[in-house]
Amino acid sequence: MDAQLNTPSDTDTVITELMVPAYANFGGKIHGGYLLSMMDKVAYACATKFAGNYCVTVAVDGVEFLQPVDVGDLVSMQARVNYTGDSSLVVGIRVIAENFQEKFVKHTNTSYFTMVARDEAGNAARVPGLRLTDTEDLRRYSEVLMRKKLKAWYRDSMQKQRDDFDSVIQAASLADENCVVDIPGLGAG
Ligand SMILES: CC(C)(COP(=O)(O)OP(=O)(O)OC[C@H]1O[C@@H](n2cnc3c(N)ncnc32)[C@H](O)[C@@H]1OP(=O)(O)O)[C@@H](O)C(=O)NCCC(=O)NCCS
């Protein structure tokens, strides 16, 4: 084992900010886009500090806002490198919202940002490896590999769906959907 390598917990990076009314949407809750912007910032800081090179965001997985964040909540974005490839790495981000008045802390979502390191000439730069020292590190690293496999399967399946697209069959398959096919020669139109 290379004792020089960092463990995932060595990469921990946190951004905390109080949610003020300027970040709210018309429904009075915090804009999802504002939270995404905070997530992108912490992913950048975590990845770039670890890689020692400028990192760009390539892909974002697992963004689901299942619980609203309110004005007055103290939001923390807890980021950690979960996976290292050749020039890419994956930062897991746990979003926590703390409400002082109602005295509770909620975990609103966990998302995964894939970042790629670039050198000064803009070419892909190798990232250091990770030293996995507990089963949680191992689980997170393995889950990234599983998500990569599932995404490859999803991409191939979507390509097959496009290649096999037949407008008559597809129009007929939408009978139970909340739409009307209004194309001359197809469906009810
Ligand atoms: C993503 C980007 C760096 C890939 O460049 P590229 O020269 O085609 O790179 P490669 O195909 O050699 O892939 C480089 C790494 O990115 C990873 N990668 C590429 N596309 C990916 C995708 N869609 N999802 C996840 N990882 C991806 C590869 O797996 C590879 O990882 P590895 O080196 O650890 O094996 C390039 O497309 C880019 O710069 N995109 C814009 C990024 C940006 O500006 N983001 C800001 C938001 S707008």
Site to probe by mutation for ligand 1, drawn from 50, 57, 58, 151 as the one with most ligand atoms within 8 Å of Cβ, is 58
Domain boundaries, the chain: 8-131, 134-189
* 94 CA from centroid of ligand 1 (Å): 23
Handedness of CA 137, 143, 149, 151 (dihedral sign): negative
pTM of the model: 0.92
Span 8-131: which CATH code? 3.10.129.10
List residues bridging with 96 in a β-sheet.
Answer: 76, 107
User: Strands, DSSP E only, in the chain?
Assistant: 13-18, 54-61, 74-84, 88-99, 104-118
Give the C-alpha separation, 28 to 147, whole Å: 34
Give the C-alpha separation, 119 to 185, whole Å: 55
Atom 9, ligand 1: residue with shortest CA distance: 124
Average pLDDT per 10 consecutive residues for the chain, totaling 189 residues: 87 98 94 96 98 97 92 97 98 96 91 97 96 97 98 98 95 94 77
